[in-house]
């Protein structure tokens, strides 16, 4: 191909008219140019071969070093491969090993950061695992297991601290206490920032134990105070309402409640035995006597109100007692009249008492306290009575719902309409039978005679009940006037009101009232 191109050049030069010498000179320059070009090509290819061999040697060293660092196998390259194939294979293996190295370093960095965070939260020092420059797969697995163990330990300690915190908060609320140490404040206010170290957990357990000991001590103190209060209640004859109020106000373990109970006991059980204490007690006794003498009338009315209220409650219980309908001896009528009288007299007494207390509540400190307590006592009576009524109503409704009604469960037998002749014959037969029995017994049946029902003369029973009721009523009224005059109540005579009695009137009461 080179010779053909040279002949073609020579032919062109001849056609152009170039002489022999210029043609020969041109041919020489062409030969030199081709020789240089080929030499350059050969040199370039030789350099490429040397570079490939150099790369193979360097890559082989790097692969061997990385294989040793990463602890991975390094298989030998087959000799049958060409230089270019060997260089490409070794290059790919080297890049793969570098990727493994970078991946392990990234994993170690991530695990190290997680370990550092967990150790800081748990208050533990960091481990020395996976400290080599290039971690092996085994080192990474050990570090990962260590991090998992730290996470489990954090979960256990977090649960423990959460339970301790919950118990501590409950005890603080119960005892009305405030945390004092920095650790105690931090576990209450900053649970997320709390260090879950063993020392901190032990300190929390000790703090909870101290709170439990304080709770037990206060419970014992409260029990002693309540025992002393019960003793004072028995000795001083404190009303039940006042006892309930004091007990409800003393139900707690806070310092204020215990202090109030101690103050209440100290007021009545002072150990100070001195002339000043005696003078103070005498002054208090004198004030109470003056209070009683000045307000004897209203106190008597208050006592009468309580007595009438108790009697009205008794009458309500009697109204629901089925045994009162037998062998009553005229008591139903008297109870009905007494309920009517109480229904009028109790509100009247209450109005008088409330008016008196409202008018003179500012005249005396003792009277103001007594009036307030007595009005609260009256309100408590009314409220308790209303609650009892509501409870009884709910019980009746629940029993009625629990017991299915038997009404409408069976059909009524059809009865034909009796004829008027049958009714007349029946009545005539009854009248004849009555006349015949009267004639046989020798008893005249006249206008003033008694009809016999079941062997009991109705007219005689009516007159007997009426006489007994009038006598009993007169005795009750006389006793009531005597009681009213003794207690100093004003205008406590029998009431003639026709209002409905307390608790309602039964059917037998209505029948007795009509008689």
Q: Which domain holds residue 393?
A: 297-398+456-488+496-515
Quickly list H helices, 403-441: 420-441
What is the distance between the alpha carbons of residues 116 and 110, in angstroms, rounded to a whole number?
Answer: 10
Same domain membership, residue 391 and residue 502: yes
What is the distance between the alpha carbons of residues 89 and 60, in angstroms, rounded to a whole number?
Answer: 10
* Number of helices (H), then strands (E), in the chain: 15, 2
pLDDT of residue 27: 85
Same domain membership, residue 101 and residue 120: no
Same domain membership, residue 474 and residue 366: yes
Same domain membership, residue 126 and residue 186: yes
CB atoms within 10 A of CB 118: 20
- Asked if 66 and 98 touch (Cβ cutoff 8 Å), the reply is yes
**For each of the chain's 515 residues, which pLDDT tens digit applies?**
778 887 888 888 888 888 888 888 888 888 888 889 989 999 898 898 888 889 888 988 888 888 888 878 888 888 788 888 888 888 998 999 889 888 888 888 898 889 888 888 888 888 777 667 778 788 888 888 999 999 999 999 999 999 998 999 998 888 888 888 888 888 888 878 888 888 989 999 999 999 999 989 988 888 888 888 888 777 777 778 777 877 777 777 777 777 777 776 765 555 556 778 788 878 888 888 887 887 888 888 888 888 888 888 888 888 777 776 665 567 778 888 888 888 888 898 888 888 888 877 656 677 777 778 888 888 888 888 889 889 888 888 888 888 755 444 444 444 444 444 444 444 444 444 443 444 443 434 343 333 333 343 444 444 455 445 555 555 555 555 554 444 444 433 333 333 333 334 343 343 333 33
Same domain membership, residue 176 and residue 136: yes
Question: 3-state DSSP helix/strand/coil percent for the chain, to nearest 5?
Answer: 75, 0, 25
What is the distance between the alpha carbons of residues 436 and 315, in angstroms, rounded to a whole number?
Answer: 48
303 part of a folded domain: yes
| Backbone φ and ψ of 452, nearest 5° | -100, 125
239 part of a folded domain: no
- Asked if 99 and 124 touch (Cβ cutoff 8 Å), the reply is no
pLDDT of residue 416: 46
309 part of a folded domain: yes
Greatest pairwise CA separation for the chain in angstroms: 198
What is the distance between the alpha carbons of residues 177 and 183, in angstroms, rounded to a whole number?
Answer: 15
Same domain membership, residue 118 and residue 94: no
Same domain membership, residue 132 and residue 174: yes
Nearest to 138 by CA among 126, 130, 146: 130
pLDDT of residue 320: 78
End-to-end CA distance of the chain: 159
Tell me which of 168, 190, 219 is where a domain ends.
219
Task: Give the total number of structural domains in the chain.
Answer: 3
Tell me which of 198, 219, 240 is where a domain ends.
219
501 part of a folded domain: yes
Same domain membership, residue 118 and residue 100: no
Q: Are strands 456-457 and 452-453 parallel, antiparallel or unpaired?
A: antiparallel
Same domain membership, residue 129 and residue 93: no
Same domain membership, residue 390 and residue 366: yes
Same domain membership, residue 175 and residue 62: no
Q: Residue 237 corresponds to which tokens in the numbers above?
A: 């004859």
- Asked if 494 and 338 touch (Cβ cutoff 8 Å), the reply is no
Q: Residue 272 corresponds to which tokens in the numbers above?
A: 């100070």
Quickly list H helices, 361-412: 365-402
251 part of a folded domain: no
pLDDT of residue 152: 92
Nearest to 222 by CA among 258, 254, 247: 258
- Asked if 149 and 181 touch (Cβ cutoff 8 Å), the reply is no
Residue that has been written with the tokens 């309402």 in this structure: 241
Please, how many CA atoms are within 13 Å of residue 358, restricted to the half-sphere of its CB?
6
414 part of a folded domain: no
Residues 6+ apart with CB under 8 A from 443: 449
Nearest to 341 by CA among 241, 173, 476, 488: 476
155 part of a folded domain: yes
165 part of a folded domain: yes
Same domain membership, residue 370 and residue 387: yes
pLDDT of residue 433: 40
Tell me which of 219, 253, 285 is where a domain ends.
219
């Amino acid at each position: 191909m080179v010779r053909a191109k040279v002949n073609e050049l020579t032919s062109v030069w001849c056609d152009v008219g170039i002489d022999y010498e210029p043609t020969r000179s041109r041919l020489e320059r062409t030969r030199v140019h081709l020789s240089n070009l080929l030499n350059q090509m050969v040199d370039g290819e030789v350099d490429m071969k040397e570079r490939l061999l150099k790369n193979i040697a360097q890559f082989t060293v790097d692969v061997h070093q990385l294989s040793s660092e990463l602890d991975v196998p390094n298989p030998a390259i087959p000799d049958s491969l060409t230089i270019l194939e060997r260089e490409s294979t070794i290059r790919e293996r080297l890049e793969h090993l570098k990727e493994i190295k970078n991946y392990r370093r990234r994993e170690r960095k991530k695990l190290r950061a997680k370990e550092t965070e967990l150790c800081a939260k748990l208050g533990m020092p960091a481990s020395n695992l996976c400290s080599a420059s290039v971690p092996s797969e085994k080192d990474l697995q050990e570090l990962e297991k260590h991090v998992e163990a730290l996470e489990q330990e954090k979960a256990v300690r977090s649960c423990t601290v959460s339970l301790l915190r919950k118990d501590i908060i409950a005890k603080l609320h119960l005892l009305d206490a405030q945390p004092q140490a920095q650790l105690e404040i931090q576990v209450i206010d900053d649970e997320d920032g709390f260090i879950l170290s063993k020392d901190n957990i032990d300190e929390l357990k000790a703090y909870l134990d101290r709170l439990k000991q304080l709770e037990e001590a206060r419970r014992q103190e409260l029990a002693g105070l309540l025992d002393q209060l019960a003793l004072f209640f028995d000795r001083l004859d404190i009303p039940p309402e006042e006892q309930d109020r004091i007990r409800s106000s003393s139900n707690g373990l806070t310092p204020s409640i215990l202090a109030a109970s101690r103050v209440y006991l100290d007021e009545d059980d002072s150990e100070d035995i001195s002339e000043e204490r005696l003078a103070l007690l005498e002054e208090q006794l004198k004030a109470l006597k003056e209070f009683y003498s000045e307000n004897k009338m209203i106190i008597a009315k208050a006592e009468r109100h309580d007595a009438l209220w108790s009697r009205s409650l008794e009458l309500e219980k009697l109204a629901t007692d089925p045994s009162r309908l037998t062998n009553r001896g005229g008591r139903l009528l008297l109870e009905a009249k007494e309920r009517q009288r109480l229904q009028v007299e109790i509100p009247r007494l209450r109005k008088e008492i409330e008016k008196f207390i409202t008018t003179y509540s500012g005249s005396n400190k003792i009277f103001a306290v007594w009036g307030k307590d007595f009005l609260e006592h009256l309100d408590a009576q009314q409220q308790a009575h209303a609650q009892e009524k509501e409870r009884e109503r709910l019980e009746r409704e629940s029993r009625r719902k629990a017991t299915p009604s038997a009404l409408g469960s069976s059909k009524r037998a059809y009865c034909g309409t009796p004829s008027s002749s049958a009714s007349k014959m029946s009545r005539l037969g009854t009248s004849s039978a009555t006349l015949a029995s009267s004639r046989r017994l020798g008893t005249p049946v006249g206008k003033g005679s008694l009809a016999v029902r079941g062997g009991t003369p109705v007219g005689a029973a009516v007159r007997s009940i009426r006489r007994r009721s009038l006598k009993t009523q007169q005795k009750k009224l006389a006793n009531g006037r005597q009681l009213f005059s003794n207690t100093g109540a004003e205008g406590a005579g029998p009431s003639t009101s026709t209002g409905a009695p307390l608790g309602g009137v039964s059917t037998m009461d209505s029948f007795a009232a009509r008689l």
